[in-house]
Chain A
Amino acid sequence: MSRQPRAFFALDFGSATTSAAFVGHAGGRWRLLAHAAAPATTKLDALLLGILDRVQQADPELLEVVSAQQRPKPAALVVDLTRLEAHSTPPRRLAVLAGSRRQRRRLEEVAARAGWLVVGASADADDPVAMSRLVLSAATHAVLLGADSRPAGDERRHLPMLGALVAAAARSRPELAVVLAGGAAVRESDFLEAGEHDRIPDPAQAAAATQAAPPRPAGRGVLLAPGAESGLPAGAALQQVLEGVRARADESRLGVARSVGSLAFVLDRCIEALEVGIDGGLRCRAEPIGPGDRTIVSSHVALAAGSFAPLDPSDEIVDAVLSWSTVAFDRYRLSDRLRDLRISPWGEADGEGALLRLAAAKAAAERLVAATPEISAREMPDILIAAGGVWASTPPSVVALAMADVVRRPGIGRLACDQARLLGPLGTIGDEEERRRIIKDLADDVLLPLGSLILPSGIRQGRSAGRMRVLGESANSDIDLQPGGIWAVELPPGQTAMVEMDFRDTVRLGARGRHFSVEVLGGLGGLFVDLRDIPLRMPDRADQRRATWEAWQRAMWSEIDE
């Protein structure tokens, strides 16, 4: 008698990287048995076969248990096992049109937070031809026409023209999605009035085409959405609509956000994630309303600008990468390298290429943090997760340092990495209860512990800030806390240590005080004690800045000179 296999593949098809994880039900719970990541060009079956071969070599009995077969053949299992898939949505462009520059800026901000590449124009500043050019461009996938719910005169007088312009573009391009937000919804009639005779003519085959093709239902593809001021925070409602228009149902980025919400529920912890990919990035936060409360509050922002290798990097992006780089580049050379990184994301993943990739990832994470002030204003989360393919080949301690560099809030928290990239596929499970059940089992496997971070603020420069003692099974350290530095104390994964800190002055570390005693968890990077400024103050001169980054980086990345 054969039983149903109790195993599945969780697959995350990124634009640059395909990640596969083999999850099986053994020992009474779901467990991550193996995982691998490879360039997106790699054949999937070969990747999955490699994973199963490794499991079979390491523990053949385990494979028999989860596959419910005796002497299972990995090649057959590759075909038979269920696959839970998440995909990246290719970058899509939204044209924002508004009556006024003020409204346009608000709409652009909301659209950018929904993950769109945004171009915009306003009737008070731009020519209708320029606006038509934006809307008719093949690179534009959707149009957002918005106005205040009660538009003022400066917006209202332009709305008829804008409505007619967008309606005409929608007739020319039936594939164009149109969103009318806020007060612009009154222009819906422009779209409903379009009749069959208003289609674009096909001069050579006009007669045949009009008879053969069924008429497009008037107004199809037009969505009415709340204005940019609706929701809490303002724009949240419109952001949700725009996300729905942009993303596919099984998008991995939004899957990460959903999984983080489930993790927060399961662990009863405040969790934040920072995901950086080649087509964009995500910052999300989920936390229980109060201690022991089962209600989770979550927010997320997907940002196309959160890509570590954007489509067409502007000078600002190139400068931002330069400011994080430990390698001296001139602007043009760096611009070329960033563009090549997009063409070949796995190219030169070692040596100088790894340093460039790290600088690009930090710059992208910085953009994500800058775009989410409402999350930055909250306290340090209990767990901060680094997610995304860009971290796949980076040493854990370096990932931890990158997180500490970018997310600078006083407090004590754990750092983790979604190394197996399970959060995206698990987030595609539609049933919230089922997702929570699986994540509850997998919580320890999903999060690769990087270590704990202690990040106090209010430390005075120029003298010792105090002392710190770390007392644990394998870690017993006494550290003189010198301002401006970062220390890594070895504390392996699974171990805990008691940290006692005596500061000379009152500092902020979650709460304000001079004496703190906390228990911390270990990780691959250990315990990080960060006494650098909040926010980081770096030298203005490029060579000094590079030297500063390099000094901190070298402490965590001893293999850098290999």
Chain B
Amino acid sequence: MTKAHAEAKALPAEYTRIPARRILVVSPTIRFALGPGDRALVSAGQSVEAGTPIAELTRDAEYVEVGRLPRPGDGNGASAVADAIPTLTWKEPGSDPILPPARDTGRGGGSDRANGTVAKGPGEKPAAPKEPGIERRQPPVPGKWWVGGSDRRGRAPGRREQPRRMAGTLLFEIGGRWRAAAGERHETVGSPTAGVVTEARNGLCVAIKVAGAAIPGAVAGGVPSRGYLDVPRLVDGELRDTALDVGRSGAIVVAGGRVSAEALTRARAMSIRGIVAGSLGQGELRDLAASEARQRSGLHPLPPFGVLGLDGHQRRPIASPILALLAALAGREVAIVTDPPLLVLDDLDVPLPELAPDWVRVRSGPQAGREGRWLGSAGLHRFRAGIHLEAANVRLGDDLTPTVIALADLERFIF
């Protein structure tokens, strides 16, 4: 990295006027948006590993009239309802509801419930324990986790009727009575990467400062996901749909310049965890969002699936320095994050590709996607339609003659 910087400094000022594109960002902050009914399972300052449950989402949160909630010290808190933190069993995000049935509330997992930890599933790590009962001792405030149901309000369920258990977050208090956004279906979100929680607020967001580095993208879709990086052989910079088979299950696949809606559907069906492409069309993102919505309403949702477009929406091949970096990372565990769009690497030990100091890429225009070497400034140049723009002479690929390209259409790479 130092060598590259030193070479870059030796370059003339005209070259540095080309917009720079950073290939790697170190320890970026990623965000997970929460809504009413969702709660953070971590707290600011806490370290998390990949897979640590960080939030519990309430699917189909409804408006619930909770009633009066006692404050600590009121003396009538024996039947307080905003206190119980249920035992949570870590499952894949999008899996079955995690709240235990009402009859289990009083037994089993008591220690976990008391200290607010989350039991782990195979291969998953628990969140750091909270101070026992600390959440219980907090007065009811907007955003506080609330658990309740018909049985909690003194109404015994009928013989055939299962007690309706709901959980969510308090919204507001009016006339001494609280309202909440709560639901019966919940799912847990695991951190896609290791890092330190910088912000965790029920109903708002969880933010994590990533421990490793990340490759920035331009657009992302789906949900954050994690898997091993698979860089298959690309034909003309593209990946054939048939290459997305079940053998790549659990992988985040580098799919070339553009990925079709059919390929995304196929990838999801094959339990592939994510796709990284040069570009993502809005049509494909829209289809993916619709598919996500259908999956959420289903009883057996598929594993999380994310897509990342490195350049934007129009078709472009992946830049060769980034492709070289991805190839060097093949086999490692990586994660796709959607806010901001990133491909997150677990550590900072990244094999950086060799890069000529005058290497440039055309990011837009008729030559978009081509790469070459910067030869020098071309000054103010008259382009198509009589538009005058600052330009540079670039030798693209194996071309014998240099091409004049507008500076704004070029990009150079920095680490």
Contacts and interface: CB of A to CB of B under 8 A. Distances in A.
B195 to A, nearest CB: 16
Interface in B46-84: 46, 61-63, 71
Contacts of A46: 13, 16-17
A559 B171 CA distance: 61
Contacts of B44: 202, 204-205
A340 B62 CA distance: 38
Contact of B63 (A41, A127, A335, A395): A127
Interface string A156-176: 000011001101110111000
A198 B178 CA distance: 13
A503 to B, nearest CB: 35
B171 A351 contact: no
B385 A354 contact: yes
B146 to A, nearest CB: 13
Given A41-B19, A351-B383, A202 B43 contact: yes
Nearest to B142: A168
A199 interface: yes
A376 interface: no
Interface string A293-305: 0000000000000
B45 A204 contact: yes
Contacts of A560: 385-386
A359 B309 CA distance: 26
Contacts, number: 184
B385 A557 contact: yes
Contact of B204 (A38, A138, A332): A138
Contact of A337 (B63, B203, B314, B390): B314
B385 A350 contact: yes
Nearest to B171: A132
Given A138-B205, A346-B408, A351 B366 contact: yes
Interface stretch (B29-37, B86-94, B223-231, B249-257): B29-37
B384 A351 contact: yes
B385 A355 contact: yes
Contact of B33 (A138, A344, A395): A138
Interface string A498-530: 000000000000000000000000000000000
B171 A205 contact: no
B55 to A, nearest CB: 13
Contacts of A205: 43-45
A555 interface: no
A200 interface: yes
Contacts of A344: 312, 363-364, 408
B387 interface: yes
Interface in A343-360: 343-344, 346-351, 353-355
Interface string A187-206: 00000000001111111111
Contact of A349 (B31, B139, B172, B408): B408
Contacts of A129: 36-37, 61-63, 171, 181
Interface in A11-51: 38-39, 41-43, 46
Given A168-B172, A206-B138, A339 B282 contact: yes
A203 B43 contact: yes
A540 interface: no
B59 to A, nearest CB: 12
B209 interface: no
Interface string A532-562: 0000000000000000000000000111101
A336 B45 contact: no
Nearest to A47: B17
Interface in A122-152: 127-129, 132-133, 136-138
A168 to B, nearest CB: 4
A41 B19 CA distance: 6
Contacts of A350: 365, 383-385, 387, 389, 406
B124 interface: no
A393 B218 contact: no
A202 B46 CA distance: 12
B142 A172 contact: yes
Contact of B409 (A132, A167, A206, A348): A348
Contact of A340 (B172, B313, B390, B407): B313
Contacts of B314: 336-337, 340
A332 B283 contact: yes
B338 interface: no
Contacts of B144: 200-201
18 contacts: A46-B16, A128-B63, A128-B179, A128-B181, A129-B181, A138-B204, A164-B172, A165-B171, A168-B142, A168-B171, A203-B43, A332-B283, A335-B283, A339-B313, A340-B312, A350-B387, A354-B387, A562-B386
Interface of B: 13, 16-17, 19-20, 31, 33, 35-37, 43-46, 61-63, 71, 116, 130-131, 134-135, 138-139, 141-144, 171-175, 179, 181, 200-205, 218-219, 281-283, 312-314, 363-366, 368, 382-390, 406-409
- 6 A-B pairs with the lowest CB-CB distances in the bound complex, closest first: A559-B386, A347-B364, A204-B43, A350-B383, A346-B408, A351-B384
